[in-house]
Amino acid sequence: MADQFFLPYLAGFPPFSGLGFIQRAKDGTTIINKTEKIVVIENTAVEEAIKKISSSVVAVQAVANKKIIKEGTGFIVFSDGLVITTADLISQRADYLVFRENSSSTARVVKKDLKNNLALLKINETNLPVVSLANLSELFLGERIVLIGAQVLPLLEKTTGEVRENKFYRFINIGTIRGIQEEIIFLNLDEESFLANGGPLVNIKGEVIGLNLVNQNGLVNTVPVTKIKELID
């Protein structure tokens, strides 16, 4: 009753005519479901962030004697084939394979930072899609974040049991930043696979804010993007 009759009536008399909400009532303007609209916009932004970075995310395998001894995730930081991952995946007696969508390449170790648990690999490919690195100072509490991992599953022939092809796929986990202390980022995540170890943590813009360190129990730590920049510089 107030919206339809009383407020429009008051809009004809000063000083009520100068009040915005009364004037909107006179004009018949109504704002509904504003909160729902914000949620939809945020979800769309998360989807766009995933699309922006997904082609730069790779699966990494350490292989010895034709057996996978370690596996995890990495991401491309330079278009000429430089891939960053966790030093946990590096073993002196292993060869390395890097998998992308519909392709795989052997890799060599270029550089290791054992203090920060980082490693830089090189594959012989060019014109590759690369990630964007964020500015850590722009992070804020409660910011939506996306953890991305990659995995390769062998598809077997039913008759012979031999590997027919390797199926590459990515997986994600969405959470929020619950704390920032100097260069340490604390996360809220529901669950995670250890195969995301070495993968990127990205903000809602699709920029890398850190590298994920995931143990066998699914506990996640993050190497901040500042340490990644120091390694590749």
Question: Residue 24 pLDDT > 70, yes or no?
Answer: no
Q: What is the pLDDT of residues 196-225, one digit of tens each?
A: 999 999 998 999 999 999 887 777 888 999
The predicted structure's pLDDT at residue 153: 84
Q: Where are the beta strands (DSSP E) in the chain?
A: 57-64, 67-78, 82-86, 95-100, 103-113, 118-123, 132-133, 144-156, 163-181, 184-188, 200-202, 207-214, 220-224
Q: Residue 89: pLDDT above 90?
A: yes
For residue 101, what pLDDT is reported?
87
What's the full length of the chain, in residues? Answer: 233
pLDDT at 58 over 60: yes
Task: State residue 3's pLDDT score.
Answer: 56
Distances in Å between the Cα of 10 and the Cα atoms of 6, 28, 34, 62 are 6, 14, 26, 75
User: What mean pLDDT, rounded, does the chain reach?
Assistant: 81
Third-level CATH fold of 54-232: Thrombin, subunit H (2.40.10)
> Within the chain, where are the H helices?
7-10, 20-27, 34-54, 225-232
Lowest mean pLDDT of 23-37, 71-85, 119-133, 144-158, name the range: 23-37
Cβ-based neighbour number of residue 185 at 10 Å: 23
- Enumerate the domain spans of the chain: 54-232
